[in-house]
Amino acid sequence: MARVEDKWQRIRFHDYRTLFSVPKLYERVIYDILKCRSPQVITDLLNKSLKQENVEPQTLRALDLGAGNGIVGELLAKQGAELIVGVDIIEEAAVAAERDRPGVYDEYEVLDMTCLTDGNERMLRAHEFNCLTCVAALGFGDIPTGAFTAAYNLIVPDGWIAFNIKEEFLSGNDDSGFAGLVRSMIGDSVLDVRCKHRYQHRLGTDREPIHYVAIVGQKQRDIS
């Protein structure tokens, strides 16, 4: 039987604006009803990879791309990260992060990473990020490859990269551009993958599981 189209697989900016504008609505829909597990899964895998390399989580200077209302930032803060900077393209996300999780982010910038001004780039680079998190924000018309690349290239060599993506976006049939990007990042030794893990990201509104792949690794060099 054909799957009923899952509207919430394709959440658009106006949906996020509504979800973030009403306190706890995002958590109610995405976490309570649709059982999203990704922030916990990704930050746990990051932590596990750090432990394996004897890296203290307290040394992390993290750029959280597509930060939303701060759920990932909160988990990084619990792990003791030294610095956490959130970036999101919509103002409502920044307002919600401050409203719902005050103090979690040292800074939160409302920016389009695909067209950073020189000033934005200088300001972000000055933080000497050694960690990039990007959770539940790639593909689906959200963060495009160009924005991910720009954020990746702000991370210092040997920095930690933790992100997830819908498994179909890593397959040959993908038209988001991420299949090719991730393949070349791994094949050209741009990213040294420490952990790749398929898991249930959340349920669709038809209650069918949606699977993502989490990738944690260490940056070797910039994406060219």
Query: Cα 137 to chain center, whole Å?
Result: 5
Binding window for ligand SAM (CB under 6 A); candidates: 116-124, 139-147, 153-161, 188-196: 139-147
Pairing of strands 209-219, 160-166: antiparallel
Total interface residues for ligand SAM by CB under 6 A:
21
Return the number of the residue (88 or 174) whose C-beta is nearest ligand SAM: 88
Return the number of the residue (71 or 83) whose C-beta is nearest ligand SAM: 71
Token representation of residue 132: 């990039």
User: Could you tell me where the beta strands, DSSP code E, fall in the chain?
Assistant: 61-65, 83-88, 107-110, 131-134, 160-166, 191-203, 209-219
Single out the residue of 138, 195, 136 nearest to residue 161, CA to CA.
195
Q: Residue 165 is inside which H or E element, if any? A: strand 160-166
Whether the CB-CB separation of 64 and 45 falls below 8 Å is answered with no
Phi/psi class of residue 177: alpha, beta or left (left: φ > 0; alpha: ψ in -120 to 50)? left
Binding window for ligand SAM (CB under 6 A); candidates: 60-68, 76-84, 171-179, 204-212: 60-68
Single out the residue of 148, 142, 63, 144 nearest to residue 106, CA to CA.
63
CB of 9 to ligand SAM, least distance (A): 11
CB of 147 to ligand SAM, least distance (A): 5
Instruction: Tell me the residue nearest to ligand SAM as measured from the CB.
Output: 68
The site string for ligand SAM over 62-101 (x = CB under 6 A, - otherwise) reads ----xxx--xx--------------xxxx--x--------
Single out the residue of 139, 131, 149 nearest to residue 194, CA to CA.
131
CB of 144 to ligand SAM, least distance (A): 6
Return the number of the residue (67 or 179) whose C-beta is nearest ligand SAM: 67
The verdict on 39 binding ligand SAM (CB under 6 A) reads: yes
Whether the CB-CB separation of 133 and 151 falls below 8 Å is answered with no
Return the number of the residue (19 or 190) whose C-beta is nearest ligand SAM: 19
Identify the residue among 45, 75, 113, 124 touching ligand SAM (CB under 6 A): 113
The verdict on 29 binding ligand SAM (CB under 6 A) reads: no
Residue 182 has φ and ψ, to the nearest 5°, of -65, -40
Which of positions 160-179 make contact with ligand SAM (CB under 6 A)? none
Total H helices, total E strands in the chain: 8, 7
Residues that bind ligand SAM (CB under 6 A): 16, 38-39, 66-68, 71-72, 87-90, 93, 112-113, 135-137, 142-143, 147
